[in-house]
C-alpha cells in the first residue's frame, strides 16, 4: 500500500461514553418532573370536583353570639319626666289612685288619667303595670316604684303606661331605695343569639294578670 492510500484511509473514531452518574441524574430529574405534573393535574381535578361551601349555610351552622353585660338601670331607663302614666284603682279602697298619682307627680311623672280600672279587674297583688312594645322601658322604670308589681304587655301602640293598683298595695317604694336599686348594675343579655333580653327592672319576668270577675272599685 502506498503512502497516499494509507494517508487517505482513516481510523474509526472512538465514541465518548456518557458517565453513569449523569444518566442517573437525568433519570431522577425526569421522574421528579413527571411526578410534579401528575400532582398538579390531580389537584386541579380535585378542586373542580369539591363542592363550594355555601356562606349562608355556614353562617347558619355557627352559633350566634349572645353577650351578657352588667347594665346600670339609671343609665339606660328614661327619666320620670319623660314618662306618662295613667293611675287606676283596681280595689275597693277609696282615693287610692288619686293619692298615688299625687306622689308620682311629685316624683316627676306626667299623670295622664286617674280613675277606676277600665278593665274592671280586681287585682289582688301589688299592681299591674300595663304597657305596649314602645313603653317597655317606661314600665321597667315604674316597676322600681312598685316592688312586686306584675308587668303586663298588651298591644297598645303608644308609650303611655297604666298602673292598676291592687289590694296588696300600701305605698310606693322610698326614693332612697329606688335610687340605690337603679344605681346597682344588673346582668342583661344582648345579641342575636339570645332567646330574650333580660329586663333591668326589679321584676325578672312579665306575666299577664289572672282574669277574675269584675267588682266595683272606687278612685
pLDDT tens for each residue of 103-151? 999 999 999 999 999 998 889 999 999 999 999 999 999 999 999 999 9
Within a 10 A sphere around the Cβ of 172, how many other Cβ atoms?
18
How buried is 100 (Cβ within 10 angstroms: 0-12 exposed, 13-18 middle, 19+ buried)?
A: buried
pLDDT of residue 185: 84
pLDDT tens digits, residue range 58-90? 455 556 667 677 778 888 899 999 999 999 999
Bigger pLDDT: 185 vs 9: 185
Task: For residues 190-209, give the mean pLDDT.
Answer: 52
Q: Tell me whether residue 97 is exposed, middle or buried, using C-beta atoms within 10 angstroms of its C-beta: 0 to 12, 13 to 18, 19 or more.
A: buried
Cβ atoms of 97 and 162 within 8 Å: the answer is: no
> Collapsing DSSP states into helix, strand and coil, what is residue 116?
strand
Identify the pLDDT of residue 31.
83
Torsion of Cα atoms, 161 then 164 then 168 then 172, to 10°: 40
What is residue 126's predicted lDDT score, i.e. its pLDDT? Answer: 96
Of 47-56, 85-94, 112-121, 174-183, which gets the smallest average pLDDT? 47-56
Task: Write phi, then psi, for 95 (nearest 5 degrees).
Answer: 80, 5
Q: What is the pTM of this model?
A: 0.59
What per-residue confidence (pLDDT) applies to 26?
83
Position of cell 302614666? 85
pLDDT at 155: 94
184 pLDDT band, cuts 50/70/90, is confident
Top pLDDT among 113 and 188 is at 113
Cα 181 from Cα 188, distance rounded (Å): 15
Amino acid at each position: 500500500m502506498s503512502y497516499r492510500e494509507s494517508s487517505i484511509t482513516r481510523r474509526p473514531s472512538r465514541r465518548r461514553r456518557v458517565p453513569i452518574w449523569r444518566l442517573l441524574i437525568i433519570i431522577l430529574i425526569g421522574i421528579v418532573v413527571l411526578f410534579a405534573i401528575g400532582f398538579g393535574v390531580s389537584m386541579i381535578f380535585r378542586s373542580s370536583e369539591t363542592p363550594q361551601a355555601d356562606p349562608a349555610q355556614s353562617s347558619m351552622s355557627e352559633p350566634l353570639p349572645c353577650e351578657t353585660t352588667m347594665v346600670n338601670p339609671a343609665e339606660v331607663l328614661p327619666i320620670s319626666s319623660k314618662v306618662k302614666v295613667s293611675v287606676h284603682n283596681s280595689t275597693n279602697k277609696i282615693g287610692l289612685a288619686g293619692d298615688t298619682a299625687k306622689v308620682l307627680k311629685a316624683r316627676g311623672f306626667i299623670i295622664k288619667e286617674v280613675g277606676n280600672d277600665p278593665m274592671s279587674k280586681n287585682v289582688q297583688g301589688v299592681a299591674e303595670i300595663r304597657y305596649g312594645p314602645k313603653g317597655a322601658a317606661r314600665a321597667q322604670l315604674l316597676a322600681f316604684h312598685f316592688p312586686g308589681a306584675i308587668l303586663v304587655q298588651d298591644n297598645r301602640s303608644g308609650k303611655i303606661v297604666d298602673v292598676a293598683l291592687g289590694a296588696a298595695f300600701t305605698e310606693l317604694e322610698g326614693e332612697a331605695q329606688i335610687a340605690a336599686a337603679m344605681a346597682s348594675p344588673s346582668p342583661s343579655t344582648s345579641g342575636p343569639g339570645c332567646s330574650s333580653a333580660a329586663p333591668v327592672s326589679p321584676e325578672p319576668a312579665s306575666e299577664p294578670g289572672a282574669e277574675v270577675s269584675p267588682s266595683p272599685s272606687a278612685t
